[in-house]
Structure formats: C-alpha cells, structure tokens
C-alpha cells in the first residue's frame, strides 16, 4: 500500500535501482503517476487505474519513481 498521500512540491520520492529475483511484483495506481524502468530497457508509466505485473528475473534491476513534474509540483499519490 502506497499512500493515500497528497504530496507538497519536492516531497514525492521513488526507489533507487534494485534487484528482484524469483517472484512476481504487482504495482497498481489508484491516483497519481509512477514511472517504472528496468535495466533491459523496459518500463512505462503507471497511472490512475493502471496495473503492472512484473516477473522478476535474475540480474535485472528496476526502479519506480514519480515523474519529475510530480516531484516539482506535488500531488495525490495512492497505489
């Protein structure tokens, strides 16, 4: 569970690059925006009502973070 938080400008944070191995991760956004990137060049934007299912493999790194515009202006975040 992430939030529900109404961030002020400069408050939103994400996660740094990190590995997962041997399990499934599910990210869902009720309100807000999250960008997901992986070390194989995959990724995308997860926003209101979106769900992302990731099968984690050995040696792949990924990170999730709010987009820069959300960090700068703040906003609602709930996932």
- Tens digit of each residue's pLDDT (9 = 90 or more) over 20-53: 777 788 889 999 999 988 888 888 999 999 998 8
d(Cα 56, Cα 21) in Å, to the nearest integer? 5
Query: 5-77 falls under which CATH superfamily?
Result: Jelly Rolls (2.60.120.10)
Give the pLDDT band (50/70/90) at residue 14: confident
- What pLDDT is attached to residue 22? 76
User: Could you tell me the sign of the dihedral formed by the alpha carbons of 27, 79, 42, 18, in that order?
Assistant: negative
Token pair for 36: 């997901």
Residue pair 36/55 in contact by the 8 Å Cβ criterion = no
d(Cα 74, Cα 51) in Å, to the nearest integer? 22
Q: What are phi and psi of 63, to 5 degrees?
A: -150, 150
Give the pLDDT band (50/70/90) at residue 3: confident
Give the pLDDT band (50/70/90) at residue 58: confident
């Amino acid at each position: 569970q992430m939030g529900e938080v109404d961030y002020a400008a400069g408050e939103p944070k994400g996660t740094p690059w990190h590995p997962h191995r041997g399990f499934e991760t599910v990210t869902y956004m009720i309100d807000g925006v999250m960008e997901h990137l992986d070390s194989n060049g995959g990724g995308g934007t997860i926003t209101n009502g979106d769900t992302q299912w990731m099968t984690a493999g050995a040696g792949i790194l990924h990170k999730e973070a709010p987009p820069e515009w959300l960090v700068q202006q703040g906003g609602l975040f709930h996932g």
